[in-house]
Amino acid sequence: MILMLSVSHSLRSKVSAKYLLFCLSALPLTALGIVDVHDEYYAAPEAATLSVISVDFSGASGNDSRQSFSVEGHQLWRRENQTILLIGSYAKADSGGADTADNRFLHARYVRALTGRSGVEGFVQTQQDRFQKLDARHLMGVGYRFETRSSSQTRVLLGLGGFAERERFVDLVRAETNYRANVYVTAEIPLNFTNQTTLSLSAYAQPKFSDPSDLRSIAMIKFETQLTQAFSMDLTVAFDDDSNPLSGVDAQNLRYSSGITYKFKK
């Protein structure tokens, strides 16, 4: 009897989680192109190659006229003591004929393990977000990382480093070069009510070396449940803050997205 109740509770939990994510996936995508560079770092650790793609599309016509599209891809190559990540995303949206989103993102990262838990990394990145007046941002950086893993399969990754960035803004002739610290923590937590669902948390802080009060930060949470061996459904919510934004650009942004993800590994 106890076993039957336990199985029944587990099944109800799985159905509830998938139903919740299905309902959330119907929400309008108010902001697209949410990218966490460590989002798929722990996925399929046994695979030498991992390809992940997420596509979101929605639209309406008539009284409510809007269209939105986003695509995000993660590619990982794992070798002995080495990992290479390539991440890219593109998002475009309009409402009533007016553009409401236009951003692009490309990130490449090389990780070299020093011990079973620590390593060094180098990365380059380029992006554009015209609705934050960012015409182009290019950066290059290095860092040190430390990983832990508990018996419950919870994984935590800590990183410390720095980078140089070059930014060009929409409608401004000038471009800026800055040097920033890069501190981050990211975690993946399997949820107890089903081993097919995980909760991921990430936080980044990037103060300027010459003026630490000039701080950029982001916090992100992702809830993902596996539907099949290849497909999963996810909900991502992110909050970012810029202590020194451009005139006419909000200092804080709350963003969310949801959709279906396909993973291919070998």
Q: What pLDDT digit, counting tens, does each position of 54-66 carry?
A: 877 777 776 667 7
* Predicted pLDDT at 63: 64
Q: What pLDDT digit, counting tens, does each position of 9-45 carry?
A: 444 444 444 444 444 334 433 333 346 777 777 777 7
Q: What pLDDT digit, counting tens, does each position of 189-245 carry?
A: 888 665 578 899 999 999 999 999 999 999 999 888 888 888 888 888 889 899 988
Q: Which two tokens stand for residue 117?
A: 């838990």
Q: Is the dihedral of CA 31, 33, 37, 38 positive or negative?
A: positive
Report the pLDDT averaged over residues 173-185.
90
Element (H, E) at 4: helix 2-25
Q: Residue 145: is its pLDDT beyond 60?
A: yes
* Predicted pLDDT at 1: 43
* Predicted pLDDT at 31: 39
CATH class of residue range 2-34+114-265: mainly beta
252: CB partners within 8 A, 6+ apart: 239, 240, 241, 242
pTM of the model: 0.78
* Predicted pLDDT at 261: 83
